[in-house]
Amino acid sequence: MITACCDTLLWGRMIMNTTIIGVAGGSASGKSTLVKKLCEAFVEEDVLVLCHDYYYKANDHLSLEERKKLNYDHPNAFDTDMFVRDILSLKAGKTIERPVYSFVEHNRLQEKVTVRPAKVIVLDGILIFENKELRDLMNVKVFVDTDADIRLARRLVRDVQERGRNMDSVLAQYFSTVRPMHEDFVEPSKRYADLIIPEGGFNSVALSLLVEKIRSVIRKEE
């Protein structure tokens, strides 16, 4: 079993007031960069990051070739009910065992990661604003808005270098599912955002404003 935590977590502490920050946006829009910089900004707080990607459904009954053909950008690809349950457990001060997903195997693995509660929970995912139950758990909702050509270029580099893909498969997936699902689900969910940040973590001015906004929310929760 793997145990994951931020260095600033206070083990065993009951979290009475939890601030939940949702960071959404298209694939390779800069969400993860923004989330990383938020964690750095709140290094003195109890912070944990929970990615919607961890909660892709298991497809053990399918072969690898069959799993490669699935649509991973549709809301039904995620076990969002489990995601919500885990967030509620963390808010209640309970430790969870979250799933682990492999982008190489295109499937959920058998191992689990132990995650303990924290004062600030950052949710990261392309479709986290699409689900109302999930959306209603968030104190601050941030949408990272990046041009499609930039997102595609970043996705190509990321998937080839980090996820064992080749360029042809990345492009085929992008045009068959990623782009259509972005237009159908991700882009429309932008209307639920409290803040829209162009270029995500690469936008230093917007990042500073966001950090101040989150600090004010945390103060109200205390």
Residue 46 has a pLDDT of 83
From residue 201, give the alpha-carbon distance in Å to each of 22, 37, 206. 14, 7, 8
Residue 168 CB contacts under 8 Å (≥ 6 apart), including other chains? none
Domain 2-213 fold: Rossmann fold (3.40.50)
Residue 180 has a pLDDT of 94
Residue 10 has a pLDDT of 41
Q: Return the HEC string of 157-207.
A: HHHHHHCCCCHHHHHHHHHHHHHHHHHHHHHHHHHHCCEEEECHHHCHHHH
| CA pair distance 216, 210, nearest whole angstrom | 10
Tell me the two tokens of residue 78: 């995620």
pTM over 0.95: no
Indicate the domain borders of the chain.
Answer: 2-213
- pLDDT of the chain, 222 residues: tens digit per residue: 434 444 434 434 444 589 999 999 998 898 988 999 988 888 777 889 999 999 999 999 999 999 988 999 999 999 999 999 999 999 999 999 999 999 889 999 999 999 999 989 999 999 999 999 999 999 999 999 989 899 999 989 988 888 878 899 889 889 999 999 999 999 999 999 999 998 777 788 888 888 888 888 888 766
The residue behind tokens 């409290």 is: 194
Q: Fill in the amino acid letter for 182.
A: H
Determine the length of the chain.
222
Residue 207 has a pLDDT of 87
Residue 12 has a pLDDT of 42
Crossing angle for the helix pair 31-41 and 204-221, to the nearest 10 degrees: 50
Residue 222 has a pLDDT of 67
- DSSP-based three-state secondary structure for 62: coil
